[in-house]
Structure 1
């Protein structure tokens, strides 16, 4: 036993052992990425299924149609009259009605149906702009209920693309009149008509749950029971090569339904809700169903991977993707349905319609079937999954399968941090001396005196923790600057502010490194400790974040992975320092933001304005993760690359 212990002690002090952690960290990154790429395979994914048997999707006969089509056309004519009218030359004859005028007109229709009406005003301020509007909603009291539970049908006036949702509003009005005639409802149904998809639904949901700020959002005059689910209808999808078109009768035809399910901060609805809509639309109504704007999906590996990666990007960004996103924060399962016309290319290159054409009555029957399924629920949706990645409408992976990918990427930072901590405690790393001074008597006396202070009884060097902790704390504290600047700068100044920050971000590591080198003269041990503490915080934050927003943790971990392998150079290695700095600037948060805007054809000022809006209105924390987790670690890594360890330990 004593010989075994002595062998383990010698192995622990073996300097060759510290050369292994970088390879282990690299292996963790590679395995984490590889484990994500194999998820679309049949052996690693699962078929979707309904966990809540009470839903019974597609088991009822829907009756919306016939004379209801005439009602829908009448309502569509009423809604179109509120839009700006133009002559054949495109000149505006009458301006569009205001938000208040629209609500006045819709209120008269809903009152005639026999519903109870409520209106709510809200005013938000973000990036120097004021977003104000008025929500209109109507409550259909359930004949067989006691007002303890409710469902929501959302029909925003403007879609996410800023296009009037005339067909969606008219369809919601027709369904309100149709649902009013039925006595089978056990849950109240709330018809919500917000002026937009961004601020309106958020103000209404906050006020419904008494979580609103009374200075900006008015309380609701009427309420129902606990919200059990919500579906938003968006009839304005225009990203597909062949957008919705009207026939001679004025009916807007579609072949497929696009299901949007991403919420704020990567939150997702219960998978049973998506599966129910897919079952009703694709099975009962024989319409195509697509996810993540994958208009043509052949259920192969490539399309599954693209669908999964698109979902991860949207989840990682954390922004709202529709009127349904506001409900996620309150554990209300919600999706947005967008009908569109699917197309296909013929061998001769012509674009033709792919699938059967349906009119608005088919969309109404899809909504009727969905609400009748939700009406069957005896309790809130809870049996299925809340954390998942969808690869097609019938394939998914749960959190237990994909979570190890993000955990492995986060673990590589922790492994390297522990290795650096161990290395900083070795006497050889803390007791470096210039070669020309080792033979002098003064050097020997100095080494003898420092050895008494630095070498403990067990042979470990004493660590100087004050300066490394102060540097890492400074990097973390500096994150408040970009967060404050980009969230309090007016929209018209966001581009100059970003340019100024990018320039300052390039210069800042050089300034801090120069101050450290001239004033404090950090040793190699202290640089190791700076990197160790920074990577330790980064690994801790990302591993915790992975359980809340897997995609955000994985993407930031992947972008920050070069920080694991940053090293300081010799004092005379100027080229290596500049090359390392150049590479880190190419993977900095500001550079990644520019690259993302170029890839998505989005203006930088618009991206920053949406981020500020998300922070002020939705409570989106993506910016907090970027500026308080990723950017401080990047700044500490840049200081390490520029660092010039002193020849003698710092006093």
Structure 2
């Protein structure tokens, strides 16, 4: 009986139901659109919501300088400025001696590049560092579709390259007394071995003074690498080549690039000859640990009028940014410890716009009103700060959207190493007066020392702060959680209007009766086959082939580059001609209305179905691009969203002949003209730089720079933006 009761109790125990997995956000969005389809069937409501959301997206973008927050150090272990700097006048005197020797060497008529490199190697070796040389060949930047997603300097050397055409990097490594050799900090100074100027000599002096100090300090826990990058072929080339070989093991005994191709030019170890020191220059490629951070040090070729200043360049390929903490410690140490004025790039033409000044005054007034209601409400900034923040934000968006590095630091981001370029501007009188020059070297060296000391304190890689952000000033930023709101509001009308067009198409009569056999000719219940799904399939097919054509257009430059002695203007004209020809061929062969019987005559409402699919494709493309490069998606959305939403057949608007339809015709024609990529480029470049020197060949040169740096913006223009523009033009001239 007890066993029976136990079995009965066990059988009566209720089973705990398993929790259902939550649907994904995209599924929830689809369920919401389907369940509220009646709302999207009302044209006026959808149009009103589209205008509200688009306006809110633009307004949110203009509000970003107001919503910017002050920067702060997220990683407590950095502790910038917690210790007094150790760099003294002794290290500055040694650096001045290096500058004097380099200057006197280059002043000789028979001075050679190898002499400067030998001198730098000697100074490094005298400090006790491990010195080695790295030879590289300049990379020929040519568009190649199979290598597009590789790094810009991927180690491909042309077979017909001159063996005499090569550069040599000089590398010095300090082994940390308190480290295990697993981590390293990199200092980079670009150096033209063929023609050295005073600014590069000062850059070498700053790095050498810090390098000299670090050989004697007891607190160093990470190895320090000083890379004197040969910049005779560009500042980026030498750094990228060294990084490639640093992360790619070389098993030959020479440690040089392409020994088999250029055996007669591999004797770079002649740099060791005639050294006054007994220390050796290592023949192999020397390495340290994993790179924790990198600093590129440059002294600008122009001076500031009032005070020493510092510019920070952080943008890398495809809009990648270093961890914000690295910029924060540089800004903190430069301003609060060394008294340098820190600045970031800004769009200077925006500073004189009257409407931007008026908008800043409005926000300032709203801030005063908010604080009068509640003193704790911190809204609004001074109009002058708003204008400067907007110019800086526009510059940050622009350089991230280009996807092209703004300095040699971009090569490090390809290997997920946080790096920035520090360009130091001396005061006008600093280089003429010996005391002012020593003070400039001392302050700059102490800044680099403080940054290295902070990075040296880290027990792990930078991870606490932001990687996705926009700068509005050196001390203010906008995080990803804020600026994505503006993008979400901007693209929100696309799925709304697409759903509205879908509901309208579903409610329309797109059925076709089927001829029945004679016995059933008089039957009252004729069977019908609906063509709703077929219409959507035809529209999706057309959109697919237009985007396929966009990929063909993106590949055409590879073949155009093979044409010898072709100017940028000629290349651009050939590109446009081949693009139009390929579009016509693909339309006739694959997407022609005559390819199937059901599209032999244009159907009523067919343009609405095509527009719905186009809006969906534009929405997907913008969202995907926002993951890769937000700035490109944001700037492209400002052009694409109004163009896609306003697309309407001109024939229907002309027939209506009302003020609203006529204004829409004008608006669509203007958007269609300005939205064409070359025209948009010329208009934007002319607005910022003037129309006097602008020509169509500049667009080819700009696109060439995009593919040379493997920027995803190039693919976005060719495979997302251009197809959507073509589809919008097709909708405008649709035969209704």
Tell me which interval the TM-score lies in, with the shorter structure as reference length: 0.7 to 0.9
Q: Aligned pair in 2 of structure 1 residues 596, 109: CA closer, same or farther (>3 Å)?
A: farther
Task: Select which of 614, 632, 638 maps to 1:558.
Answer: 638
> 1:436 — aligned with what?
none
Q: Do the aligned residues in 2 keep the contact of 1:517 with 1:644 (CA within 8 Å)?
A: no
Distance 2:534 2:99 in 1: 75
Q: Aligned pair in 2 of structure 1 residues 605, 181: CA closer, same or farther (>3 Å)?
A: farther
Gaps of 5+ in 1: 1-7, 86-92, 246-252, 344-355, 433-444, 456-460, 646-651
Distance 2:480 2:101 in 1: 47
Task: Select which of 648, 653, 678 maps to 1:590.
Answer: 678
Helix, strand or coil at the partner of 1:336: strand
> 1:197 — aligned with what?
235
> 2:294 — aligned with what?
230
> 1:176 — aligned with what?
211
Shift of 1:155: 0.6
Distance 1:258 1:450 in 2: 77
Distance 1:9 1:314 in 2: 40
Distance 2:36 2:455 in 1: 63
Shift of 1:71: 1.6
Distance 2:495 2:112 in 1: 58
Distance 1:593 1:291 in 2: 24
Task: Select which of 250, 256, 266 maps to 2:319.
Answer: 266
Is 1:124 the equivalent of 2:135? Answer: no
> 2:454 — aligned with what?
373
Task: Select which of 619, 636, 648 maps to 2:727.
Answer: 636
Task: Select which of 234, 255, 269 maps to 2:308.
Answer: 255
Q: Aligned pair in 2 of structure 1 residues 424, 199: CA closer, same or farther (>3 Å)?
A: farther
Distance 1:570 1:277 in 2: 60
> 1:45 — aligned with what?
68
Task: Select which of 536, 554, 574 maps to 2:616.
Answer: 536
Helix, strand or coil at the partner of 1:386: coil
Distance 2:68 2:554 in 1: 39
Task: Select which of 328, 332, 342 maps to 2:417.
Answer: 332
Q: Do the aligned residues in 2 keep the contact of 1:32 with 1:409 (CA within 8 Å)?
A: yes
1:190-242 deviations in Å (ceiling 9; x for gaps): 11122232222222223333399x9x96698221111111111111254xxxx
Distance 1:298 1:578 in 2: 35
> 2:173 — aligned with what?
139
1:386-434 deviations in Å (ceiling 9; x for gaps): 1112222222221111111112222222222222223222224x479xx
Distance 1:496 1:412 in 2: 40
Q: Aligned pair in 2 of structure 1 residues 404, 571: CA closer, same or farther (>3 Å)?
A: closer
Helix, strand or coil at the partner of 2:535: coil
Distance 1:536 1:342 in 2: 55
> 1:649 — aligned with what?
none
Task: Select which of 57, 68, 82 maps to 1:32.
Answer: 57
Is 1:165 the equivalent of 2:200? Answer: yes
Q: Do the aligned residues in 2 keep the contact of 1:424 with 1:463 (CA within 8 Å)?
A: no
TM-score, scaled to structure 1: 0.79
1:473-512 deviations in Å (ceiling 9; x for gaps): 2211222344233456448533212234346668987898
Q: 1:4-43 maps to which residues of 2 (within 5 A)?
A: 17-41=42-66
Shift of 1:284: 0.7
1:350-377 deviations in Å (ceiling 9; x for gaps): xxxxxx9951221111101111111111
Q: Do the aligned residues in 2 keep the contact of 1:48 with 1:396 (CA within 8 Å)?
A: yes
1:604-631 deviations in Å (ceiling 9; x for gaps): 6567456545534x43211011111111
Distance 2:672 2:582 in 1: 13
Shift of 1:142: 0.7
Task: Select which of 567, 570, 574 maps to 1:493.
Answer: 567
Q: Aligned pair in 2 of structure 1 residues 339, 208: CA closer, same or farther (>3 Å)?
A: same
Distance 1:9 1:171 in 2: 64
Shift of 1:111: 2.4
Q: Aligned pair in 2 of structure 1 residues 16, 66: CA closer, same or farther (>3 Å)?
A: closer
Distance 1:34 1:237 in 2: 39
Helix, strand or coil at the partner of 2:136: strand
Q: Do the aligned residues in 2 keep the contact of 1:261 with 1:335 (CA within 8 Å)?
A: yes
Q: Do the aligned residues in 2 keep the contact of 1:120 with 1:218 (CA within 8 Å)?
A: no
> 1:89 — aligned with what?
none
1:38-78 deviations in Å (ceiling 9; x for gaps): 1222xx33221111111111112113231222222221233
Distance 2:498 2:249 in 1: 41
> 2:91 — aligned with what?
68
Shift of 1:337: 1.0
Q: Do the aligned residues in 2 keep the contact of 1:255 with 1:288 (CA within 8 Å)?
A: yes
1:314-354 deviations in Å (ceiling 9; x for gaps): 111111101112212322111111112579xxxxxxxxxxx
Distance 2:542 2:312 in 1: 47
> 1:410 — aligned with what?
491
Task: Select which of 215, 228, 244 maps to 1:206.
Answer: 244
Question: What RMSD, in angstroms, separates the aligned Cα atoms of the two structures?
Answer: 4.0
Greater displacement, 261-270 / 103-112: 103-112
Structure (1 or 2) with the larger CA radius of gyration? 2
Is 1:477 the equivalent of 2:548? Answer: yes
Q: Do the aligned residues in 1 keep the contact of 2:313 with 2:344 (CA within 8 Å)?
A: yes
Shift of 1:16: 5.9
